Amino acid sequence: MITILYFASIREHMGKAKETVELTENITTVEALIRHLSETNSAFNQLCQSANSPLISVNQVFAEPSSPIVFGDEVGFFPSMTGG
């Protein structure tokens, strides 16, 4: 099982801040997780088709589509940041 967190406009779009997802044996990378979420959740699918694709973190560190995902990971999806 992994934890997924959504932030800011993506949190509002998804209608939730957090969810947990069971890891099947084919979900081993961020890319595979995104494919899985797109297939099972139309709001997430919409997000991936938009011009501004979300930024991704794994265990609170910026991640790439190829980054590995393992049991217990915390994955964040968020829009581009506007601090300062």
Partner 1 sequence: MISVQTSDFELEAEYTSLRNHAGDAGAIVMFTGLVREICTAQSDNPGDLDKTERLFLEHYPGMTEKQLEKIAREASERWPLLAVRIIHRVGELFPGDQIVLVATASSHRQAAFESANFIMDFLKSRAPFWKKQTSSAESRWIESRISDVDSLKRWRE
CA distance 20 to 40: 13
Of the listed pieces 26-34, 38-46, 71-79, which binds partner 1 according to CB under 8 A?
Answer: 71-79
Q: Check if the beta carbon of residue 18 is closer than 8 Å to that of residue 41.
A: no
Tokens found for residue 38: 């797109």
**Interface positions, 7-46, toward partner 1 (CB under 8 A):** 7-9, 11
Question: Residue 34 or residue 76: which is nearer to partner 1 going by CB?
Answer: 76
Interaction between residue 76 and partner 1 (CB under 8 A): yes
